[in-house]
Amino acid sequence: MQRWSRVRSKTKGYNFMTSITPFLWFANNVQEAVAFYKAVFPNAKVETVSDLMAVFELEGQRFHALNGGPQYRFTEAVSFFISVETQAEVDYFWSRLTADGGEESRCGWLKDKFGLSWQVIPSALGRYLGDPDRTRANRVMQAMMEMRKIIIADLDRAYAG
């Protein structure tokens, strides 16, 4: 399934091909970063990688990356959301993305060793938080607020009461 598409729009008689692609600024390790993400995401595709730039795809999302120097750093204001179904998937992405100097944060958030923020979130969390029974949803929210890595069984227990 393709997760991105190109949209053709007509503005003042001109046709434009529009796509939105994240552009990542690395200090000086774009090749290392691409190799890391390729190892983490089994379906990753690398289009180009050089000393200066790279173009790659993770789970259908295209990325451009640059060795731009140390003046800009990633912040938590932007994160990439990985939607998973099982605890095994949570554990897989969590352990690999926090490896070699990554940092755990709260509520399913983490930073990888390059400082890029990710959220590893099971679909059950969204279902539970969206439940019209606000008592159940609030119990799940409270349980999640105590977690670093999301533990689905703990969400299930909180939801059940």
Q: What domains are defined for the chain?
A: 21-70 (3.30.720.100), 74-161 (3.10.180.10)
pLDDT beyond 80 at 34: yes
pLDDT beyond 70 at 60: yes
pTM of the predicted structure, to 2 decimals:
0.87
Amino acid at 93: F
Average pLDDT over residues 93-113: 98
Phi, psi of 78 (to 5 degrees): -130, 130
pLDDT of residue 13: 61
Q: How confident is the model at residue 17 (pLDDT cuts 50, 70, 90)?
A: confident
pLDDT beyond 90 at 101: yes
Q: How confident is the model at residue 11 (pLDDT cuts 50, 70, 90)?
A: low
pLDDT in tens, 70-95: 999 999 999 999 999 999 999 999 99
pLDDT beyond 60 at 129: yes
d(CA 88, CA 93): 9
pLDDT beyond 80 at 61: yes
Q: How confident is the model at residue 18 (pLDDT cuts 50, 70, 90)?
A: confident
Contact 99, 128 (CB under 8 A): no
Q: Which residue has the higher pLDDT, 101 or 4?
A: 101
